[in-house]
């Protein structure tokens, strides 16, 4: 039996253990949980292992070291920025650096003040509470959070109507880490109660290359330097996307090649997954295509543009627009969204004459 036969048999045994083969596909009931395990494994566990965001890392390091020396929980932390840049990972790192337990919840999950009280009233001293999408907290919970963050106390209302009574409940000192993709939606009283705020920016290709190399090592992916560079330039400046594309390119290399991720394999795989040379995916190109071909380059309102591409307005604004604006393909103006000459050229079209182009400040 050759080495190739042994490898094939080992692969078939692994497939049989994890799922069942149906034709050319493998159906695994553990796929979702495995994806979660992979995501967790790829997250750095310490601040020194976190790549990129150098200024934020330095500021956080000072904050955490100072708190440890004083023996007190650090100030509350607010993290803002586009999705996928590491806000959840930083919250986990804060808890790990402090040696404290971490509670994870999200704004939409806290519908009533009682939901928040149930979380806060069982905290241990020094515990870290992470609230993702904190801008989506219900107003009653938000108002309760003001008092909890400032005085480490919540008021529990007993009864209804004129006979209702507020009973103050002391809670253990804790550190709140809030994450938001829409910092402008946070009310000023809540935003002002955070002692440290940080905005996470998109990553440089070199930083993403370091992340891809580390993730490839953890996943056991054989990848060439040229393949790393190609992935890094197509990952939209976002580590989450870089790790996701790495897994998809790995799948392509294992099924349709010899398992080694080269530049050529990366380009072919990403073409299959509709990711172009700038990193634009289906949604990005749909936004540009609608803006240019249907609306003549704009200006066009966000809601109209979202309907044209069949997505929610928030998805277009939060997921697609930051990257398109950053790369000079789209501009936000008082009258609506406008395609720049670079957007026309990226789609292989000739932009209108300068006098016919909408100005960015119309």
**DSSP classification of residue 152:** S
Q: What is the largest CA-CA distance in the chain?
A: 85
Q: Give, in degrees to the nearest 5, the angle at Cα 78 between 76 and 81.
A: 165
3-state SS, residue 275? coil
- 239: CATH: 1.10.8.60
**How, if at all, do strands 175-180 and 77-80 pair?**
parallel
> Helices (DSSP H) in the chain: which residue ranges?
3-18, 31-42, 54-70, 87-98, 113-120, 139-151, 188-191, 205-219, 225-233, 239-256, 263-272, 282-289, 302-309, 313-315, 321-326, 341-346
Do 301 and 270 have their domain in common? no
Task: Classify residue 19: in a domain, yes or no.
Answer: no
User: Nearest CA to 227 among 203, 202, 204, 252?
Assistant: 252
pLDDT, residue 356, reads 52
Query: Could you tell me the CA-to-CA distances from 116 to 123, 130, 183, 188, 297 in Å, in that order?
Result: 11, 12, 21, 20, 46
Overall average pLDDT of the 219-237 stretch: 91
pLDDT, residue 2, reads 45
Do 266 and 134 have their domain in common? no
Task: Classify residue 3: in a domain, yes or no.
Answer: no
Whether the per-residue pLDDT at 28 is higher than 60: the answer is no
Do 181 and 115 have their domain in common? yes
Do 235 and 129 have their domain in common? no
Task: Classify residue 286: in a domain, yes or no.
Answer: yes
Single out the residue in 279, 314, 332 at which a domain terminates. Answer: 279
pLDDT, residue 175, reads 92
Whether the per-residue pLDDT at 185 is higher than 50: the answer is yes
Instruction: List, as one string, the DSSP characters of 281-293.
Output: -HHHHHHHHIIII
CA distance 95 to 103: 9
Q: How many CB atoms lie within 10 A of CB 203?
A: 24
Tell me the pLDDT tens digit for each residue of 189-222: 888 889 999 999 889 999 999 999 999 998 888 9
Instruction: List, as one string, the DSSP characters of 297-333.
Output: T--B-HHHHHHHHTS-HHHIIIIIHHHHHHTTSEEEE
Do 271 and 310 have their domain in common? no
Do 62 and 168 have their domain in common? yes
pLDDT, residue 61, reads 93
Whether the per-residue pLDDT at 224 is higher than 50: the answer is yes
Whether the per-residue pLDDT at 19 is higher than 60: the answer is no
Whether the per-residue pLDDT at 362 is higher than 80: the answer is no
Per the structure, the complete domain to which residue 289 belongs is given by 282-356
Retrieve residue 192's tokens.
């002002």
User: Nearest CA to 266 among 245, 292, 241, 294?
Assistant: 245
pLDDT band at 333 (very low <50, low <70, confident <90, very high): confident
Do 52 and 118 have their domain in common? yes
User: Nearest CA to 130 among 99, 87, 98?
Assistant: 87
Task: Classify residue 108: in a domain, yes or no.
Answer: yes
pLDDT band at 39 (very low <50, low <70, confident <90, very high): low
More confident residue, 33 or 167: 167
Task: Classify residue 93: in a domain, yes or no.
Answer: yes
3-state SS, residue 339? strand
CA distance 193 to 76: 7
What is the residue-averaged pLDDT of the chain? 82
Active-site annotation, residues: 87-88, 132, 181, 240
Overall average pLDDT of the 168-175 stretch: 85
Do 53 and 181 have their domain in common? yes
Whether the per-residue pLDDT at 235 is higher than 80: the answer is yes
Task: Classify residue 16: in a domain, yes or no.
Answer: no
Task: Classify residue 244: in a domain, yes or no.
Answer: yes
Do 184 and 244 have their domain in common? no
The model's pTM is: 0.78
- 332: CATH: 1.10.10.10
Single out the residue in 264, 279, 294 at which a domain terminates. Answer: 279
Do 227 and 316 have their domain in common? no
- 76: CATH: 3.40.50.300
The total number of structural domains in the chain stands at 3
Single out the residue in 279, 309, 326 at which a domain terminates. Answer: 279
Whether the per-residue pLDDT at 9 is higher than 70: the answer is no
Do 102 and 166 have their domain in common? yes
CA distance 137 to 178: 11
Do 287 and 274 have their domain in common? no
Task: Classify residue 26: in a domain, yes or no.
Answer: no
């Amino acid at each position: 039996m050759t080495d190739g036969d042994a490898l094939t048999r080992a692969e078939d045994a692994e497939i049989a253990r994890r799922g069942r083969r149906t034709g050319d596909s493998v159906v695994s009931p553990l796929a979702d949980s495995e994806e979660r395990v992979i995501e967790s494994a790829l997250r750095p566990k310490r601040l020194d292992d976190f790549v990129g965001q150098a200024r934020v890392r330095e500021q956080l390091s000072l904050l955490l070291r100072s708190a440890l020396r004083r023996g007190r929980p650090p100030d509350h932390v607010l993290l803002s920025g586009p999705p996928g840049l590491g806000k959840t990972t930083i919250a986990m790192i804060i808890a790990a650096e402090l040696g404290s337990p971490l509670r994870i919840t999200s704004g939409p999950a806290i519908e009533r003040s009682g939901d928040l009280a149930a979380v806060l009233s069982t905290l241990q001293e020094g515990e870290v509470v992470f609230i993702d999408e904190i801008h989506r907290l219900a107003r009653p919970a938000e108002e309760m959070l003001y008092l909890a963050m400032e005085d480490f106390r919540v008021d529990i209302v007993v009864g209804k109507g004129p006979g209702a009574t507020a009973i103050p409940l002391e809670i253990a000192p804790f550190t709140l880490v809030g994450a938001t993709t829409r910092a402008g939606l946070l009310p000023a009283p809540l935003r002002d109660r955070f002692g440290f705020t940080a905005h996470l920016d998109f990553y440089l290709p070199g930083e993403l290359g370091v992340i891809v190399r580390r993730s490839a090592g953890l996943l056991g992916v054989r990848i060439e330097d040229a393949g790393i560079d190609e992935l890094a330039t197509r990952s939209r400046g976002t580590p989450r996307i870089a790790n996701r594309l790495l897994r998809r390119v790995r799948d392509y290399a294992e099924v349709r090649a010899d398992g080694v991720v080269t530049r050529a394999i990366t380009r072919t795989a990403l073409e299959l997954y509709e990711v172009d040379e700038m990193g634009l995916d289906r949604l990005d190109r749909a936004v540009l295509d609608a803006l240019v071909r249907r609306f003549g380059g704009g200006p066009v309102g966000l809601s109209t543009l979202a309907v044209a591409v069949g997505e929610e307005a928030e998805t277009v604004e939060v997921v697609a627009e930051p990257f398109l604006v950053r790369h000079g393909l789209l501009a936000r103006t008082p009258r609506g969204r406008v395609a720049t000459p670079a957007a026309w050229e990226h789609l292989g079209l000739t932009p209108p004459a300068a006098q016919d182009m909408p100005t960015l400040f119309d």
